[in-house]
């Protein structure tokens, strides 16, 4: 979890981690429901069941609060190294499914739409996105170096298909079946990866 940006708590008064977690989740929920236009310190405090003063002891602005909430509460696409490209891609697809099918899915969608227009959040979001792209590309490059996929494979197309496929599956899953998906995201991730790996490793002209 990221360090809170404005940790100006009263000296000698220890921070309550449970209160912090409630505030973080409330901030994510408020942003997911109403976007930046509906994001206010008072609304977050009410949703978290705390006094507004508790927020201002921790964050001086709503921009700082939202930045920390996003850093601490959203599933991150991060570099993993399981030793195989299949394993790494399953982890990557699982992260995407959890992000867009999990409890903060509305927040993730709002972030994609609005992050660039929110002062202080835009820079953080761009840095996060750039780090995620680097991590995802490193996964495929390692697979190429190990000979698991041909050197001619398009890293961009492979990742677009993997990430886009996971995201679209999460978003198109009916609400009534969302709990089944979130309970076992790895199963769908494995099926998606097996399909893609077969497509990129099948011999040319095999009819696959």
pLDDT tens digits along 98-144: 989 988 899 999 998 998 888 888 888 888 888 889 989 999 999 99
pLDDT of amino acid 19 = 87
Fold match between domain 17-72 and domain 75-201:
no
pLDDT of amino acid 3 = 35
pLDDT of amino acid 8 = 40
CA-to-CA distance for 49 and 61, rounded, in angstroms? 19
DSSP codes of every residue in 3-40 = PPS---PPTT----HHHHHHHHHHHHHHHHHHTGGG--
Superfamily of domain 17-72 in the CATH hierarchy: Homeodomain-like (1.10.10.60)
For the chain, which residues score pLDDT lower than 70? 1-15, 204-208
Could you tell me the residue ranges of all domains in the chain?
A: 17-72, 75-201
Whether the CB-CB separation of 140 and 152 falls below 8 Å is answered with no
| Topology (CATH) of 75-201 | Tetracycline Repressor; domain 2 (1.10.357)
pTM for this model (two decimals): 0.80
């Amino acid at each position: 979890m990221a360090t809170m940006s404005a940790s100006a708590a009263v000296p000698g008064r220890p921070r309550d981690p449970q209160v912090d977690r409630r505030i973080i989740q409330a901030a994510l929920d408020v942003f997911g429901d109403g976007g930046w236009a509906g994001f206010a310190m008072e609304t977050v405090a009410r949703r978290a069941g705390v006094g507004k003063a508790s927020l201002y002891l921790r964050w001086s602005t709503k921009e700082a609060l939202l930045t920390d909430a996003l850093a601490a509460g959203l599933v991150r696409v991060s570099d993993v190294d399981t030793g195989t490209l299949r394993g790494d891609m399953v982890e990557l697809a699982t992260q995407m499914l959890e992000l867009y099918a999990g409890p903060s899915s509305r927040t993730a969608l709002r972030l994609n739409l609005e992050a660039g227009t929110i002062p202080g959040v835009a820079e953080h979001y761009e840095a996060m996105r750039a780090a995620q792209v680097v991590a995802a590309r490193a996964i495929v490059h390692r697979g190429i170096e190990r000979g698991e996929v041909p050197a001619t494979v398009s890293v961009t197309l492979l990742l677009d298909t993997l990430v886009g496929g996971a995201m679209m599956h999460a978003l198109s899953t009916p609400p009534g079946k969302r709990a089944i998906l979130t309970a076992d995201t790895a199963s769908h991730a494995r099926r998606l990866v097996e399909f893609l790996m077969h497509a990129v490793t099948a011999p040319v002209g095999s009819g696959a």
